[in-house]
Amino acid sequence: MKINYPEILKKNMINVFKDVLLDIENNGLQEGHHLYITFNTEESKVTIPNWLKEKNQEEMTIVIQFEYWNFKVKKNSFNIGLSFNDIKTDLEISFDSVISFADPYANFGLRLIQDNDINNSFKAKPIIKKKKEGKKKKNNVIDFKKFKKN
């Protein structure tokens, strides 16, 4: 039997995303946290209004930050209400449709890239950006062995 690593990785990366959403559902967004979520609008289990789908025919990115409502995490999807050009809209987004998410405040994100050439498997790639270092830090460690009397 062949081990399906891409499917195992995809499932676990979705669970990380789901845990983040459950934390937001239970505790709200804390400090400066906010999420950018990109998903495939063509996924059959995604429910968005037709006018929004026409504007975002393949994929769409939403931001969860200040104003959202009816936020509910389910087994295979999540529901959220957002405003688009002052039009209040309810969305249902399946976890299978999620392409990526990022929390710029935490400098963290995950990306699921669908690869149609390999049996519809997914390649998962974490997105973690390192902060640019300014000046190099000097070594402030003092070796007392040099000053110790024998």
- pLDDT tens for 74-119 read 999 999 998 888 888 899 999 888 888 888 888 888 887 555 433 4
The answer to whether position 134 is within a domain reads no
**Does residue 140 belong to any structural domain of this protein?**
no
The domain tally of the chain equals 1
Q: How confident is the prediction for the chain on average, in pLDDT?
A: 78
**What CATH number is given to the structural domain containing 117?**
2.30.30.220
Mean pLDDT of 41-60: 86
DSSP class of residue 39 equals: E
Q: Is residue 147 one of the residues assigned to a domain?
A: no
| Domain that includes residue 109, residue range | 5-129
At 122 the pLDDT is 45
For residues 112 and 43, what is the distance between their CA atoms, to the nearest angstrom? 14
